[in-house]
């Protein structure tokens, strides 16, 4: 204790100088808008860079396990694709029909690869940060997908990063349909289990069963039709009893989300502008 007091007594003028410098710096950034904005921009950039380094270190540690899982998943997918393609070709007696259908569905759609920087699954309004932004051609309201399903929608964009509103967000809503029957409804998250979402407004006369595939309906400019979302795991009645409420087991495991793709459709800006004009015209009437 005595040594500490002697140190303070010896260097007290330097300690006072440092304290005053820190206080002056804080006052400058707090009460001056320009300096404050510079500080926030720099701090966000530094935090984003540190998060990227941390994420890369975690990826490197788990690289072996990830490669093993990807190999197994790719093998299953290749087997499923080969079986379905052979089945389709035999039914249509046309060996090129599967390639033509795939080309038609993905026409005008571009996939931009990205990596997840930050992620959360425990909040009611979760957000995801990815490492691509305006410089890469990313815009708000573009879709984001993973290897096993839909992830969410681009919410905010900076020069090199983007914030994604995932399925696990109470403000998220998306039109989806049952693949076999074509009946559609609104997909939402109830804020409880990160592995499940709710598909509302399915008509009472619709026919479906546990295990049926749920996919994007294509009723918006965000996602093309036919992207996998999940499978029906439970069937319930809606609150008013006039429709069904389906519990959907999501294809994406958000707690282990790492690599994603931003869906960029060629005619999305034109379609969005037309929809906004139609909304304005209806509001003016």
Q: pLDDT, tens digit, for every residue of 215-257?
A: 999 888 788 888 889 999 999 988 888 889 999 999 999 988 8
Provide the CB-side half-sphere exposure for 158 (13 A, CA): 10
- pTM here is 0.64
Please name the residues in contact with 82: beta carbons below 8 A apart, sequence gap of 6 or more.
none
- Asked if 131 and 117 count as a contact pair (C-beta separation under 8 A), the reply is yes
The answer to whether 162 and 156 have CB atoms below 8 angstroms apart is yes
User: In this structure, are residues 150 and 223 in contact, taking their beta carbons and an 8 Å threshold?
Assistant: yes
CA distances from 122 to 6, 46, 166, 195, 254 (A): 50, 25, 12, 12, 10
- CA Rg value for the chain: 25
Going along 182-279, which residue ranges are E strands? 184-188, 196-203, 213-216, 228-237, 243-250, 259-265
DSSP 223: S
167: how many CB neighbours lie within 10 A of its CB? Answer: 25
Residue 104 confidence (pLDDT) above 60: no
Most confident of 19-23, 96-100, 171-175, 275-279: 171-175
Q: Where are the domains of the chain?
A: 2-61, 111-268
Condensed to tens digits (0 to 9), the pLDDT of residues 128-153 reads: 999 999 999 999 999 999 888 899 99
CA gap 101, 127 in Å, rounded: 34
Cross-strand pairs, 176 = 185, 216
Question: How far is the C-alpha of 276 from the C-alpha of 270, rounded, in Å?
Answer: 10
CATH superfamily of 111-268: Rod shape-determining protein MreC, domain 2 (2.40.10.350)
């Amino acid at each position: 204790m005595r040594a500490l007091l002697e140190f303070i007594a010896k260097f007290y003028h330097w300690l006072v100088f440092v304290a005053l410098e820190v206080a002056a710096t804080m006052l400058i950034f707090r009460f001056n808008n320009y300096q404050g904005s510079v500080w926030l921009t720099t701090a966000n950039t530094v935090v984003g860079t540190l998060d990227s380094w941390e994420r890369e270190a975690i990826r490197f540690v788990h690289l072996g396990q990830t490669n093993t899982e990807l190999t197994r998943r790719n093998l299953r997918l290749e087997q499923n694709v080969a079986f379905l393609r052979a089945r389709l070709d035999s039914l249509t007696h046309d060996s090129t029909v599967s390639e033509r259908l795939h080309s038609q569905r993905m026409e005008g759609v571009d996939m931009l690869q990205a990596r997840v920087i930050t992620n959360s699954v425990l909040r009611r309004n979760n957000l995801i940060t990815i490492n691509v932004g305006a410089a890469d051609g990313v815009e708000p309201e573009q879709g984001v997908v993973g290897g096993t399903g839909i992830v969410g929608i681009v919410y905010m964009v900076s020069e090199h990063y983007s914030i994604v509103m995932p399925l696990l967000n109470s403000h998220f809503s998306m039109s989806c349909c049952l693949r076999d029957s074509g009946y559609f409804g609104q997909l939402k998250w109830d804020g409880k289990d990160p592995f499940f979402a709710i598909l509302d407004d399915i008509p009472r006369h619709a026919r479906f069963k546990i295990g049926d595939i749920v996919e994007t309906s294509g009723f918006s400019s965000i996602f093309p039709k036919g992207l996998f979302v999940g499978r029906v795991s439970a069937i319930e009645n809606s609150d008013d009893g006039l429709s069904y409420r389906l519990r959907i087991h999501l294809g994406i495991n958000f707690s282990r989300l790492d690599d994603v793709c931003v869906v960029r459709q060629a005619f999305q800006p034109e379609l969005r502008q037309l929809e906004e004009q139609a909304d304005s015209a209806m509001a003016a009437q």
